[in-house]
Structure 1
């Protein structure tokens, strides 16, 4: 990072739907069982949005929790930045729905789609916009209703995904150094065929697409790419931040699959005990998985103000983004 950060994360809120889909429930839907799912993914259950509950609804609830828990004002938010690959509509954006609900008088509002890396991308963008002086208070939200694009006849993907949302405030920090210490990002667009959702185009890289608007994934290829790419990215982040592994308090990767997290930790020489994740009880919630893991760390009393975090998102595109961040949220 060539420019000293001028921003810090000051508040967080999360939300997951009430409905729970267990492995036992999935046994009644497809040819699978609890032992097989846990052995391969570590997932025990996931939260599923109701038929009339959409991504903006989840995001609004997460923002409400942020506001009420930390007693913060949203009136002076000057940008709402939402990471999602499952918006309610192609347009208007989820960010616009959030602006409408909270009646923020004067703010920009935009969605970005970096799939499972979305929260990391949004944090990086928020820090850049604040550090440059263009903005002072950015509401970063990540929300997904993955269940609405999941094929529940496909036993290889339907066991993975859940729904949820998380929100953080990123604010200008004039009195002290900012919390963002390093970042790395990259893209391997040729790997997009390994995990996609078909849309208007039915072709990619000269290949016909399947899926009919649902998720299609080559799990083996994505697994290999993620382990290789994130491991290399971690080395770059540590070098850029000039810190050792021992100086990282918590590693928070995208919670795609517990076995994938275990493999990344092994290859990157990071103790699994220093990892925060949300996949076991919430499934793969795409862009929302990292804020949900952060909230789990707060709820368990593990994550504390001033802790140094290594956050890493990765997913379809194929795209990835990692950051080293000092946790700036004060204890309640």
Structure 2
């Protein structure tokens, strides 16, 4: 069996900023109210002419450049997204076409905010089994397209963007790269955060809008519990303790959730990567964007042990351990 290593990282975010001051004019919330509840100061949002594939493509180019690879080196493309440009075809096929890769296999992964970790697990299995050499994994979402900007509780949370990694085969097995991944779900809690309209159950209408609705209190409790247990489980499975970890990259949903999970794990604040202040919750993109930011600014270095942990609508949660 081979090692599956993170060979390149890239990200792309919209230029447009939606600040708390902007939201105060739209839904009457104050900067202090938003920050105290979420830790978010601003979020990036796509304009009317931009779609998920635009950011996914730019993030992919960045990851390829970082890995010193050409599109022809890629064997498969996985795109985690809840906001495809169209109901069909998959965003991954659009990325394949824009990159001008050969006729490789592609797929979109529909797993809400753990979509990137789900895609990472798929790439890990393909690489370790020797099926492929280089897999492009992208987390990309434009949640602003699903946000109700008359709702003060959800409009303050969500932003847009994309992050990408190249998962590559290492010919020597040295216990590096993606060490372990795990995924869980509890479908009984799906109504805590969902989009009522737009699917086959209820096509979008005035009665069933294609906008997110959320039970914030329930989501908060489920998120803290599931992210804590997901982190503890993967550490235990690998014979590690929290103090062995160099960096934690949590899903950037709410700073209060991130801080509660860190306290439960006994993780010091300086080990927690946060980007939520300036980008908000961009669903499947938050972890790869945060990874790229932390590698670019020099915090994360080769050889560091990274714990990634996330939760999402579904209700789903997961984690990954990576020796970067």
TM-score > 0.5, shorter chain as reference: yes
Q: TM-score range by the shorter chain?
A: over 0.9
Q: C-alpha offsets along residues 42-64 of structure 1, whole Å, 9 cap, x if unaligned? A: 00011110101000001011112
Q: C-alpha offsets along residues 11-53 of structure 1, whole Å, 9 cap, x if unaligned? A: 0000001111100011110020100000000000111101010
- The aligned residue for residue 128 of structure 1 is 125
Shift of 1:281: 0.5
- The aligned residue for residue 200 of structure 1 is 200
Structure 1 residue ranges, 4+ long, deviating more than 3 angstroms after superposition: none
1:317/1:171 Cα in 2 relative to 1: closer, same or farther (>3 Å)?
A: same
Q: Is it true that 1:304 corresponds to 2:305 in the alignment?
A: no
Look up the SS of the partner of 2:40 in the other structure: coil
Q: Is the 8 A contact 1:99 1:109 kept in 2?
A: yes
- Map of 1:219-258 to 2, 5 A cutoff? 219-258=216-255
Q: 1:184 aligns with which of 159, 182, 185?
A: 182
Q: Is the 8 A contact 1:5 1:179 kept in 2?
A: no
Q: What CA distance in whole angstroms lies between the structure 1 residues aligned with 2:178 and 2:64?
A: 23
- The aligned residue for residue 206 of structure 1 is none
Look up the SS of the partner of 1:37 in the other structure: helix
- The aligned residue for residue 286 of structure 2 is 289
- The aligned residue for residue 22 of structure 1 is 19
Shift of 1:242: 1.1
- The aligned residue for residue 37 of structure 2 is 40
Shift of 1:299: 2.6
Look up the SS of the partner of 2:26 in the other structure: coil
Q: Is it true that 1:92 corresponds to 2:89 in the alignment?
A: yes
Q: Is the 8 A contact 1:277 1:289 kept in 2?
A: no
Q: What CA distance in whole angstroms lies between the structure 1 residues aligned with 2:260 and 2:171?
A: 40
For structure 1, the residue ranges without an aligned partner over 5 or more in a row are 204-208, 328-332
Q: What CA distance in whole angstroms lies between the structure 2 residues aligned with 1:233 and 1:132?
A: 25
Q: Is the 8 A contact 1:14 1:62 kept in 2?
A: yes
Shift of 1:268: 1.7
Supply the RMSD in Å over aligned alpha carbons: 1.5
Q: C-alpha offsets along residues 139-196 of structure 1, whole Å, 9 cap, x if unaligned? A: 0011000001100001100000000001100011112434122222210000001000
Q: Is it true that 1:62 corresponds to 2:63 in the alignment?
A: no
Q: What CA distance in whole angstroms lies between the structure 2 residues aligned with 1:260 and 1:273?
A: 16
Shift of 1:226: 1.0
Look up the SS of the partner of 2:161 in the other structure: strand
1:137/1:69 Cα in 2 relative to 1: closer, same or farther (>3 Å)?
A: closer
Bigger shift: residues 298-307 or 282-291: 298-307
Q: What CA distance in whole angstroms lies between the structure 1 residues aligned with 2:207 and 2:245?
A: 42
Look up the SS of the partner of 2:98 in the other structure: helix
1:256/1:175 Cα in 2 relative to 1: closer, same or farther (>3 Å)?
A: same
Q: Is the 8 A contact 1:119 1:313 kept in 2?
A: no
Look up the SS of the partner of 2:27 in the other structure: coil
Q: What CA distance in whole angstroms lies between the structure 1 residues aligned with 2:66 and 2:141?
A: 22
Look up the SS of the partner of 1:29 in the other structure: helix
Q: What CA distance in whole angstroms lies between the structure 1 residues aligned with 2:70 and 2:131?
A: 20
Q: 2:108 aligns with which of 106, 111, 122?
A: 111
TM-score of the pair, normalised by structure 1: 0.93
Q: How many residues were matched structurally? A: 319
TM-score of the pair, normalised by structure 2: 0.95
Q: Is the 8 A contact 1:210 1:216 kept in 2?
A: no
Bigger shift: residues 234-243 or 12-21: 234-243
Shift of 1:84: 0.2
Shift of 1:70: 3.8
Q: What CA distance in whole angstroms lies between the structure 1 residues aligned with 2:52 and 2:249?
A: 23
Q: What CA distance in whole angstroms lies between the structure 1 residues aligned with 2:266 and 2:186?
A: 24
Shift of 1:90: 1.2
